[in-house]
């Protein structure tokens, strides 16, 4: 009879014949008999010796005079005590480690893993043939898994092993060699442990190999975010269809209306003013005077070339632009700025900074490096240094909207928009003590484009720094609108940009991957598109507020309705 074939990456459990199982049961009963014998021996010898001790005290016999029977009893007592301590003591010690997952029941020698150069992937899933050793008996005592499971029997056993702590959840990818399978098993583990249903969080339909070691650890599925498009956005003579991933109703529709107003008015134009990512380590000296000496050294133009050569060794594209320092007592903050090609560049600039720190240690051996980042960068935080100095791409985008477009498309007037912008975006934000928040909703558009194109969502904080300006032009008939955004942090390579969906959105914009003609051109163009889209969003929302349409439009587009004809009307 032909042997049954197993899946390539299946965890194999051997099926023993019935006779072997019976023999195994018989062999397992032997320890219980031995334990019973030693228990009986221990307590009987202890009882015998206690009786003899009592008799010697009653007859005034010295305790150190012992008979052969008493010597044998004493020896038996000690031997049985040692046996019981060894048998039950070790089991007791190992028990909590097994429960916490510190003891693994995988035999590392049973894995045949062939590593290949697969980018950021830690294992080559096609070359792993794992074998699972017999699982501990305590797994059988776990509560039954939910009936909704559709996993194979082998995978259910692995789920029970993870729940019991025998297999660490974080090691499933390396143990199984199958990233999708690991996510499915972990999905069921979370349900079993928490008792909460994850129905609606899909597992199938995602390439988990693409995120291993790069984007997300211990995945249990993926979140679906709808992607809409706004446009065409006419920017610098080119048309762009802008993808926006969002769950906020009316956002895409509003941005689309702004794009229309810009398009029929002749388009918008954008200029990238600066392009440089920053990292600012903090170091400490024994005195402020010594810290100031390093500050003067770093800011001396004569030393810049040697520092730049050291910094630039870290990457083909990373090029040091400048170093600015700030002193706080004997602590020195050094803000390095460098170009990073088409990558967002955080890792690139960090490697360059580390090179410089190692270099400086030779001349400043008393320098104590506290951290590679001292928050003077400043990353993922609203800060004045980014608002003033810029970080990433600094962009200004402008357009002139004709009077008839303001009236017919935007349903308002130039005078109303100018007044609202002054009192809301400028005065109102100043009253609130805003830092970089002199706009209506720049963060809305930035977040939506960031999610769609695989940017770091947390960098929406500083990337949304924006001041929106409006003023009448052409004798007060037309509207000049501009947005100035000093710290848009985007890239077209690395991170989430390599995921299939995000890569498709970058391709839609024509900025996918690295620019071969001019390194950095694609990321700068993406920053300009972000600014142009923010311009459209600001124009449309401000018009809706000026015309009193904000609540009405959200009631129309931000409420669930099954009747499509009502929405279309």
Q: How many domains does the structure of the chain reveal? A: 4
Give the CA angle between residues 277, 229, 206 to the nearest 5°. Answer: 75
- Residue 86: the pLDDT is 74
pLDDT digits 0-9 by tens, 469-520: 999 999 999 999 999 999 999 999 999 999 999 999 999 999 999 999 999 9
Which pair of tokens denotes residue 208? Answer: 């988990």
Q: Kindly state whether residues 308 and 437 are assigned to the same domain.
A: no
Helix (H) or strand (E) holding 393, with range, is strand 392-401
- Residue 239: the pLDDT is 98
Q: Kindly state whether residues 268 and 295 are assigned to the same domain.
A: no
Q: Kindly state whether residues 364 and 437 are assigned to the same domain.
A: no
Q: Is the dihedral of CA 556, 550, 258, 435 positive or negative?
A: negative
Q: Kindly state whether residues 435 and 551 are assigned to the same domain.
A: yes
Which pair of tokens denotes residue 333? Answer: 């903050």
- Residue 386: the pLDDT is 97
Distances (CA, A) of 560 to 245, 247, 295, 464, 568: 18, 12, 59, 29, 13
pLDDT digits 0-9 by tens, 100-144: 443 333 333 333 333 333 333 334 444 444 444 444 444 444 444
Q: Strand, coil or helix: what is 550?
A: helix
Q: Is the dihedral of CA 255, 256, 259, 264 positive or negative?
A: negative
Q: Judge contact between 446 and 534, C-beta under 8 A.
A: yes
Q: Kindly state whether residues 202 and 351 are assigned to the same domain.
A: no
Q: Is the dihedral of CA 388, 389, 391, 397 positive or negative?
A: positive
Q: Kindly state whether residues 446 and 499 are assigned to the same domain.
A: yes
Q: Kindly state whether residues 415 and 266 are assigned to the same domain.
A: yes
Q: Judge contact between 136 and 164, C-beta under 8 A.
A: yes
Q: Judge contact between 239 and 214, C-beta under 8 A.
A: no
Q: Kindly state whether residues 50 and 184 are assigned to the same domain.
A: no
Structural domain contains residue 529: yes
CA dist 333 and 335 (Å) reads 6
Q: pTM of this prediction?
A: 0.73
CA dist 181 and 175 (Å) reads 11
How confident is the prediction for the chain on average, in pLDDT? 84
Q: Kindly state whether residues 316 and 452 are assigned to the same domain.
A: no
Q: Kindly state whether residues 436 and 493 are assigned to the same domain.
A: yes
Q: What is the DSSP string of 280-294?
A: --EEE-SSHHHHHHH
Structural domain contains residue 477: yes
- Residue 552: the pLDDT is 65
pLDDT digits 0-9 by tens, 70-110: 888 888 888 888 877 776 654 444 444 444 443 333 333 33
User: For residue 286, what is the domain's CATH number?
Assistant: 3.30.70.420
| Residues with active-site annotation | 248, 380, 456, 554
- Residue 82: the pLDDT is 83
Q: Kindly state whether residues 413 and 510 are assigned to the same domain.
A: yes
Q: Strand, coil or helix: what is 480?
A: strand
Which domain covers residue 340, as residue numbers? 281-376
CA dist 324 and 307 (Å) reads 13
CA dist 55 and 63 (Å) reads 10
Structural domain contains residue 258: yes
Q: Flag residues of the chain having pLDDT under 70.
A: 1-32, 60, 63-64, 87-149, 551-569
CA dist 86 and 40 (Å) reads 17
Q: What is the DSSP string of 37-100?
A: HHHHHHHHHHHHHHHHHHHHHHTT--TT---HHHHHHHHHHHHHHHHHHHHHHHHHHHHHHHHH
Give the CA angle between residues 64, 69, 71 to the nearest 5°. Answer: 50
Domain boundary among 376, 407, 428: 376
Q: Is the dihedral of CA 344, 347, 348, 352 positive or negative?
A: positive
Question: Where does residue 168 rank: exposed (0-12), middle (13-18), buried (19+ CB within 10 A)?
Answer: middle
Q: Judge contact between 160 and 16, C-beta under 8 A.
A: no
Nearest residue to 31 (alpha-carbon basis) of 109, 77, 84, 95: 84
Nearest residue to 180 (alpha-carbon basis) of 145, 150, 149, 221: 221
Strand partners, 468: 483
Structural domain contains residue 93: no
* End-to-end Cα, the chain, rounded Å: 68
DSSP state of 131: B
- Residue 118: the pLDDT is 38
Q: Judge contact between 246 and 255, C-beta under 8 A.
A: no
User: For residue 540, what is the domain's CATH number?
Assistant: 3.90.770.10
CB atoms within 10 A of CB 99: 13
Structural domain contains residue 139: no
Which pair of tokens denotes residue 438? Answer: 């002199």
Q: Kindly state whether residues 49 and 191 are assigned to the same domain.
A: no
Structural domain contains residue 194: yes
Helix (H) or strand (E) holding 148, with range, is none
Q: How many CA atoms lie within 13 A of 404 on its CB side?
A: 3
Strand partners, 279: 336
Structural domain contains residue 134: no
Structural domain contains residue 110: no
Q: Strand, coil or helix: what is 17?
A: coil
Q: Judge contact between 461 and 255, C-beta under 8 A.
A: no
């Amino acid at each position: 009879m032909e042997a049954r074939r197993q899946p390539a990456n299946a965890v194999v459990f051997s099926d023993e014949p019935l006779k072997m199982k019976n023999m195994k049961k018989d062999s397992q009963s032997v320890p219980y008999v031995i334990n019973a014998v030693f228990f009986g021996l221990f307590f009987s010898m202890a009882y015998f010796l206690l009786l003899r001790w009592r008799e010697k005290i009653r007859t005034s016999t010295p305790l150190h005079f012992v008979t052969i029977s008493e010597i044998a009893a004493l020896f038996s007592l000690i031997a049985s005590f040692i046996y019981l301590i060894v048998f039950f003591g070790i089991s007791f010690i190992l028990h909590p480690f097994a429960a916490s997952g510190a003891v693994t029941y995988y035999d590392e020698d049973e894995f045949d893993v062939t590593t290949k150069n697969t980018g950021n992937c830690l294992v080559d899933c096609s070359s792993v043939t794992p074998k699972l050793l017999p699982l501990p008996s305590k797994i059988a005592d776990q509560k039954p898994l939910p009936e909704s499971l559709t996993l194979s029997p082998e995978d259910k056993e692995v789920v029970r092993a993870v729940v019991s702590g025998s297999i660490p959840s974080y090691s499933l990818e390396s143990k199984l060699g199958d990233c999708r399978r690991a996510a499915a098993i972990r999905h069921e583990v979370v349900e079993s442990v928490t008792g909460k249903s994850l129905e609606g969080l899909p597992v199938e339909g995602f390439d988990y190999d693409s995120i291993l070691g790069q984007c997300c650890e211990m995945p249990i599925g993926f979140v679906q975010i709808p992607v809409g498009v706004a446009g065409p956005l006419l920017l610098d003579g080119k048309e762009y269809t802008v993808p926006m991933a969002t769950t906020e109703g009316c956002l895409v529709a509003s941005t689309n209306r702004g794009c229309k107003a810009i398009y029929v008015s002749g388009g918008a134009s954008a200029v990238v003013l600066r392009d440089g990512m920053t990292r600012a380590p903090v170091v400490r000296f024994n005195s402020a005077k010594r810290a100031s000496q390093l500050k003067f050294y770093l800011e001396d133009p004569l030393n810049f070339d040697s520092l730049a050569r050291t910094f630039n060794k870290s990457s083909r594209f990373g090029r040091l632009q400048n170093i600015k320092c700030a002193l706080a007592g004997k602590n020195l903050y050094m803000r390095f700025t460098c170009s990073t090609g088409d990558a967002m560049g955080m890792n690139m600039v960090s490697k360059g900074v580390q090179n410089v720190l190692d270099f400086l240690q030779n001349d400043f051996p008393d320098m104590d490096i506290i951290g590679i980042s001292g928050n003077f960068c400043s990353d993922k935080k609203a800060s004045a240094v980014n608002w003033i100095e810029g970080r990433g791409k600094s962009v200004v985008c402008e357009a002139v909207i004709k009077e008839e477009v303001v009236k017919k498309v935007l349903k308002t007037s130039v005078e109303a928009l100018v007044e609202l912008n002054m009192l809301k975006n400028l005065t109102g934000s100043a009253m609130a003590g805003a830092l970089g928040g002199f706009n209506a909703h720049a963060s809305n558009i930035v977040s939506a484009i960031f999610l769609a194109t695989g940017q770091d969502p947390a960098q929406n904080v500083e990337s949304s720094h924006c001041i929106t300006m409006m003023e009448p032009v052409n004798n007060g008939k037309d509207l000049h609108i501009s947005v100035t955004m000093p710290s848009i942090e985007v890239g077209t390579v690395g991170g989430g940009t390599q995921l299939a969906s995000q890569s498709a959105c970058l391709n839609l914009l024509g900025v996918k991957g690295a620019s071969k003609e001019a390194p950095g051109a694609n990321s700068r163009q993406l920053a300009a598109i972000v600014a142009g889209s923010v311009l459209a969003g600001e124009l449309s929302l401000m018009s809706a507020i000026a015309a009193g349409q904000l609540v009405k439009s959200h009631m129309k587009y931000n409420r669930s309705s099954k009747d499509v004809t009502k929405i279309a009307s």
